[in-house]
Structure 1
Amino acid sequence: MATSLSVNINKIATLRNSRGGNNPDLIKVALDCEKFGAQGITVHPRPDERHIRYEDVFNLKAVISTELNIEGNCTEDKFVKLVLDNLPAQVTLVPDTEGQLTSNHGWDTIKNQAYLQKMVALFKSAGIRVSIFVDPVVDMVKAAKDTGTDRIELYTEAYAKDFLNDPEKAIEPYVLAAQEANKLGIGINAGHDLDLNNLAYFAKNIPNLLEVSIGHALVCDSLYLGLENTIKQYRSKLTP
């Protein structure tokens, strides 16, 4: 079964916010992404609303027909309320700090075990699928199992960085982490710096990869290739 593509539209919101007004229209872009083949829409609101605004999440939930994935830091009460008010298909818990430019590490699922158990239970009790952002470390995957999470999202920046030098070495820790997740019955998502150059190799080598969330590279590619063509190309990289 092909891996699902969820398009992260944060960068569309960044472009909109840079001039005020509503150009580009975030909601229209999300609907077009669905029309062009995206199987989900991802947003990652932050407290300063520098890209996705909290209002955007309500507007998106009202109209999209695929899965809505809300990423963010569950230590923020405002984020927790936003998720519970919108009941997305999936919430991805990311350990961001305030003012962080972009996500740059996964959860320490050992150190934060009790806290993550509480938050996972909260969201699952509302009928929301939960994914925890983790580094490709077998011990972190093992401890993620004890939080009760449905899935993990493998943080793929290191893979993308090392891919051009040595693809086999770059993918190795991710394969080991994925094998452990499969053994434990945890679903596998992935995201961060995946692009048209490295995506197919990643998807081919990660067993039972359910979903990738891609934003920055996809939006950049669409400047040259067009949004519809870009989404089709990303989907083709995920086809077995």
Structure 2
Amino acid sequence: MELLTCIGLIGIKLVLVTSEVLPPPQLSVMTSGTLYMGQDIELQCTAPGDYPEGTFYLYSHSTGERLQTVHAPETKHSVTFTIETTYTTKSMEYVCMYESYVGTELQESEVSSVLSLTLHVPVWVFVVVGLAGLVILVASVLVTLYLVRRNKKKKQEQRDKDSIWIDQNITADWPVGNRNMVFSSNSTSKTDISNTHPSNMDSPSENGLALPFSTFRT
């Protein structure tokens, strides 16, 4: 009876041992220097030395998505993850964990502390953006100058046309016999001076009336 009790206690102890959670790993940045957008970044997940040859997992802390899985080589208790960053993300947060055998049972570890990364914009991005803005500005100025000059030229051509007085209707319809017509300033009647007696030519001056002449060029 006592033997069975001891065996039962040992079994309970084994169950408790095999069901415990392993210690959390440490997640750190291996890439040195300033971290830039679009750069490949290396992260290292390290488990305690008592748990070699484990399987390591990298997760996105914000979404919980498993990003990568890496198996540690023989006698090693750490792995390296390579992250490919983009030009649209400026900050990222990661966690990692591992699985390792304890005896014959595969156990999971606790999750590591959150690793926050802040990415900087590369210098060449500022250069490209600045050049693009300069090109757009120069193009806008050239287009504006072109439109202003074109409008100015059209207005000048219109003024030149308006300054030339050519009445085609008059030159085309005006009778040849009426070229010597004279008009009195106090009368709307017209007189054909070609058939008028020469003595009548002097009467306007005698009466103090000056008859204006209109000559139209054909």
The TM-score, its normalising length taken from structure 1, stands at 0.18
Higher helix share: 1
Q: Could you say which structure has the larger radius of gyration?
A: 2
Higher strand share: 2
- Specify which structure has the bigger relative contact order, considering alpha-carbon pairs within 8 angstroms and separated by 6 or more residues: 1
The TM-score, its normalising length taken from structure 2, stands at 0.19
